Amino acid sequence: MTYQKYRIDLDDAEMHQLKALLDSSKLELSASLKVKINSPKVIKITDNKREATSSANKKRTADAKKKIKETVALMELELKRGFSKKITYYGISKKSGVHIDTVKKYHFV
């Protein structure tokens, strides 16, 4: 049997509400769980982490848009040559390798 670790991200208000709920209930908690609830690990989010996340998201978005644009141009050429009947979100998704929801988000028909 493999053991997994879980993390619940709570803000201050939610943590205090959870502690109050557990204090008011008659539940018996294990000693290790009591220690973890009473001394939670504080997660620090720095400006560098925010900037890295933002730039990574922008790069992924740009890559997806580029793939979609190139695929649509290729499919339009095939349409003009008579190799395909129409351009669909599904077709763009299959040819570009981008998820269909992403194609719907960034391709304006």
Residue pLDDT, tens place only, 36-46: 888 888 888 89
- Rounded mean pLDDT of 86-107? 94
pLDDT tens-digit readout, 8-37: 888 889 888 888 888 888 778 788 888 888
Q: Is the pLDDT of residue 98 over 80?
A: yes
* pTM assigned to the model: 0.61
In the numeric block, which tokens belong to residue 29?
């908690």
* Cα 102 from Cα 68, distance rounded (Å): 9
Once rounded to an integer, what is the mean pLDDT over residues 91-101?
A: 95
Give the residue extent of every domain in the chain: 63-106
Tens of pLDDT, residue by residue over 50-77, are 999 999 999 999 999 999 999 999 999 9
Please name which of 82, 103, 106 lies closest in space to residue 94, comparing C-alpha atoms: 103
Closest CA to 92 of 82, 109, 2: 109
